[in-house]
């Protein structure tokens, strides 16, 4: 049974992996035997994180590039393929947030969020899917959110639109790439205690609200995201395609 969840020798590129959910998924996938390639903009941060993972006995490398720069993404994926000969799993996790009231929300900020949270995932899927299709096998996993596909909140229109769009992109790519041996799925996290959510976590009233609103009664821990990524990347998830897996403590099913 454990072999079903093994990622032994799989080459796995995880964007936004220097901290937060990206690092949580990368660590768990490496613990399952995968060789994780950590991506973020800062080479120094990546080297520090990769060193920590190696000290834990895990296989980790780095691929620093900016997911807001299409040329950098194309070159970054090509560099990973040149080094390892393939990419077996792509986890498009990098994203940003911008919280501003609608009447103060600049178009440039709207576009910046969409570029990083949505367009980057399209570009990376396009580039990484080519070697996956050539080898007849691959996995693409997107990090979406409970915001956008299911829920909405004030002050985050760009984030909600990007994540909703990414949910749709996941299904569209699943139908196109599935016949070629590549599955495309998404993970929709609820409220996790990460750096991205620090502004919300500092609001005691909101934190109490989320704890009450979520059936499990608390915010999620970063390490609780990894199992979903391992499942979707492994043989255990081989017939799962075009699915969004909610890891939200029951938030989206509770009234």
**Catalytic-residue membership of 239:** no
DSSP 214: S
Q: List Cβ neighbours of 255 (8 Å cut-off, separation of 6 or more).
A: none
Query: Running DSSP on this structure, what letter comes out for residue 2?
Result: G
Tell me how crowded residue 49 is: count the other CB atoms within 10 A of its CB: 22
In whole angstroms, what is the distance from residue 207 CA to residue 202 CA?
Answer: 8
Choice among 84, 159, 239, 246 that is catalytic: 159
Q: Which residues pair with 13 in a beta bridge?
A: 37, 90
In terms of Cα–Cα distance, which of 252, 248, 254 is closest to 189? Answer: 248
Question: Which ranges in 35-102 belong to alpha helices (H)?
Answer: 43-55, 70-84
Return the active site residues.
Answer: 159
């Amino acid at each position: 049974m454990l072999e079903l969840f093994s990622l032994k020798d799989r080459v796995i590129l995880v964007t936004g992996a220097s901290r937060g959910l990206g690092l949580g998924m990368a660590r768990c996938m490496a613990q399952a035997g995968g060789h994780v390639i950590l991506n973020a903009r800062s080479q120094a941060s990546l080297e520090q994180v990769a060193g920590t993972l190696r000290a834990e006995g895990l296989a980790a490398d780095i691929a620093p590039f900016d997911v807001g720069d299409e040329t950098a993404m194309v070159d970054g994926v090509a560099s990973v393929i040149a080094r390892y000969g393939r990419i077996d799993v792509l986890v498009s996790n990098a994203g940003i947030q911008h919280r501003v009231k609608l009447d103060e929300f600049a178009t440039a900020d709207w576009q910046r969020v969409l570029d990083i949270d949505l367009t980057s995932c399209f570009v990376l899927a396009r580039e990484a899917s080519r070697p996956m299709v050539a080898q007849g096998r691959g996995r693409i996993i997107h990090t979406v959110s409970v915001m956008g596909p299911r829920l909405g909140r004030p002050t985050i229109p760009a984030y909600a639109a990007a994540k909703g769009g990414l949910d749709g992109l996941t299904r569209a790519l699943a139908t196109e790439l599935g016949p070629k041996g590549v599955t495309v799925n998404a993970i929709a996290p609820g409220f996790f205690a990460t750096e991205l959510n620090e502004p919300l976590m500092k609001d005691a009233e909101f934190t109490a609200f989320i704890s009450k609103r979520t059936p499990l009664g608390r915010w999620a821990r970063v390490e609780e995201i990894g199992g979903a990524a391992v499942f979707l990347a492994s043989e255990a998830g081989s017939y799962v395609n075009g699915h969004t897996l909610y890891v939200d403590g029951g938030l989206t099913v509770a009234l």
